């Protein structure tokens, strides 16, 4: 299926196929990647640990994934040889923490975005701060040099940006091209800072997931009297995705040892919407 294709693309591009060891995976982002961090946050914002979430998950468990079953990052992790995504950072006890930090950790938090002002859950800045702690715990155990070695072979998945677009659109609606470009440039500049932070902490292999055609989300369509996708919002998404590609290309050609792959959920979702019958076959 579509998600499997994305996973395969990542695995091929990042060159981990055929290796005998499963590389550690560290995951950042929003509800497309959260596997339960938000369960541990106070209040009721952006939670999914109740039915019908999880009805197709093993034992029909509502884990906090914003999904009926496994989510996108679970499928990518599976393709890499993991059972599913590593556990949410906030779920660790001291014992499980030390067992897991060498295999991978999921820091993603539904509702978050690239900007600190987006959402009220774990911002990307906070997620990176948590990873920085994990890095220091790894180097405390094995030393700085070995920590660098381990992290340089790990995969860093980042799936974010959609909520920033929703928030901007909710506030300003469709704006002219100049204003839209200005906003996308702000997002990209913040995204760049986050990627550099990860690089400086030892990350080298990046799997970036673009934003889908967010203007076609059911909740967004229901706000349109015609029920159609909101094309103005999709235009934000396209522009953001293009700018992300340029950013990652620039960084990969500037920073030593950095590699990246980008998965286009925009294309995947568009194809599914164009050919829904393709899915029924499986």
Contact set with ligand NAG (CB under 6 A): 94, 97-98, 133, 136-137, 176, 178-179
Least Å distance between CB 133 and ligand NAG? Answer: 5
Least Å distance between CB 89 and ligand NAG? Answer: 11
Residues β-bridged to residue 263: 209
The Cα 64–Cα 75 span in angstroms is 16
Q: Which is nearer to ligand NAG, 171 or 178 (CB)?
A: 178
Least Å distance between CB 13 and ligand NAG? Answer: 32
Q: Which is nearer to ligand NAG, 4 or 98 (CB)?
A: 98
Measuring CA to CA, which residue among 277, 208, 217 is closest to residue 249? 208
Least Å distance between CB 100 and ligand NAG? Answer: 11
Q: Which is nearer to ligand NAG, 136 or 223 (CB)?
A: 136
Alpha helices in 23-93 (DSSP H): 72-80
Q: Which is nearer to ligand NAG, 58 or 173 (CB)?
A: 173
Least Å distance between CB 131 and ligand NAG? Answer: 12
The Cα 123–Cα 177 span in angstroms is 28
Q: Which is nearer to ligand NAG, 97 or 102 (CB)?
A: 97
* Cβ-proximal residues to 224 (8 Å cutoff; 6+ apart), any chain: 230
Query: Is the backbone peptide bond immediately before 145 cis, with ω within 30 degrees of 0?
Result: no
CA distances from 79 to 27, 205, 267 (A): 15, 16, 20
């Amino acid at each position: 299926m579509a998600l499997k294709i994305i996973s395969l693309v990542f695995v091929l591009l990042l060159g981990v196929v055929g290796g005998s060891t499963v590389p550690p995976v560290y995951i950042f982002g929003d509800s497309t990647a959260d596997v339960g961090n938000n369960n541990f946050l106070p209040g009721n914002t952006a939670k999914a640990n109740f039915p019908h979430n999880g009805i197709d998950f093993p034992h029909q468990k509502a884990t906090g994934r914003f999904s009926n079953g496994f989510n996108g990052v679970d499928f990518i992790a599976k393709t890499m040889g993991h059972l599913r995504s590593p556990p949410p950072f906030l779920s660790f006890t001291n014992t499980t923490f030390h067992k897991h930090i060498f295999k991978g950790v999921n820091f993603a938090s539904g509702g978050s975005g690239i900007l600190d002002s987006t959402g009220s859950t774990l911002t990307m800045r906070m997620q990176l701060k948590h990873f920085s702690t994990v890095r220091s715990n790894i180097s405390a155990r094995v030393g700085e040099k070995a920590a660098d070695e381990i992290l340089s072979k790990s995969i860093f998945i980042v799936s974010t940006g959609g909520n920033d677009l929703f928030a901007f659109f909710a506030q300003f609606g469709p704006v002219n091209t100049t204003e839209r470009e200005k906003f996308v440039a702000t997002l990209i500049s913040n995204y760049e800072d986050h990627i550099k932070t990860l690089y400086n902490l030892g990350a080298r292999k990046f799997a970036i997931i673009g934003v889908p055609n967010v203007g076609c989300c059911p909740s967004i369509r229901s706000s349109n009297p015609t029920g159609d996708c909101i094309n103005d919002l999709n235009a934000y998404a396209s522009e953001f995705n293009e700018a992300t590609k340029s950013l990652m290309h620039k960084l990969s050609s500037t920073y030593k040892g950095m590699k990246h792959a980008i998965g286009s959920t925009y294309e995947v979702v568009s194809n599914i919407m164009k050919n829904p019958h393709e899915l029924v076959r499986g």
